[in-house]
């Protein structure tokens, strides 16, 4: 059963699906403070529920986070890496996928097993089975 969390700047829809927590993020504010807030909530929720795999569908944005913002985000969440086996992020704006791939690079550099996807089925497959290079 899905649960809605509505805040001033964003909303989360959380649903446990087996050994994975699926999260849909919505909201119109493209600000680093908002990204930090919802990722803090997502990480906290995963830890509280004891779920080690996250499937996060990000919100449609007006513009992608900058590489500096993504590096900051990865640094802030480096300590969370031990709590999660895999974090799949679905970027719903196809033209932003190349820019958001920096999140994957920075996250992996901080020891977070994160991958960016444009397709939900691919993301779910990776969460379940990993990949040969995992």
Q: How many other CB atoms are found less than 10 A from the CB of residue 65?
A: 21
Q: Which residues pair with 5 in a beta bridge?
A: 12
- Residue 117 forms part of a structural domain: yes
pLDDT tens for 80-113 read 999 999 999 998 888 888 878 888 998 999 999 9
Pairing mode, strands 20-26 and 11-17: antiparallel
Domain that holds residue 113: 3-129
- Residue 134 forms part of a structural domain: no
Judge whether residue 126 has pLDDT over 70: yes
Distance of alpha carbon 41 from alpha carbon 43, whole angstroms: 6
Please, which pLDDT band fits residue 134 given cuts at 50, 70 and 90?
A: low
- Residue 57 forms part of a structural domain: yes
- Residue 18 forms part of a structural domain: yes
- Give the gyration radius of the chain's Cα atoms: 14
Count of domains observed in the chain: 1
CATH number at residue 107: 3.30.750.24
Question: Strand, coil or helix: what is 2?
Answer: coil
Q: At what angle do helices 67-76 and 32-49 cross, to 10 degrees?
A: 30
pLDDT tens for 13-59 read 999 999 999 999 999 888 999 999 999 999 999 999 999 999 999 88
Mean pLDDT across 46-74: 91
């Amino acid at each position: 059963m899905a649960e809605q969390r509505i805040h001033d700047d964003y909303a989360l829809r959380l649903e446990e699906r087996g050994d994975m927590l699926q999260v849909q993020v919505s909201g119109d504010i493209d600000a680093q403070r908002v990204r930090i807030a919802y990722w803090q909530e997502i990480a906290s929720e995963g830890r509280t529920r004891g779920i080690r795999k996250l499937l996060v569908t990000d919100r449609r944005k007006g513009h992608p986070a900058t590489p500096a913002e993504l590096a900051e985000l990865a640094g802030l969440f480096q300590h969370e890496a031990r709590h999660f086996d895999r974090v799949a992020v679905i970027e719903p704006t196809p033209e932003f996928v190349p820019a958001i791939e920096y999140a994957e690079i920075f996250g992996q550099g901080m020891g977070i097993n994160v991958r960016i996807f444009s397709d939900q089925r691919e993301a779910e497959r990776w969460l379940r089975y990993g990949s040969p290079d995992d």
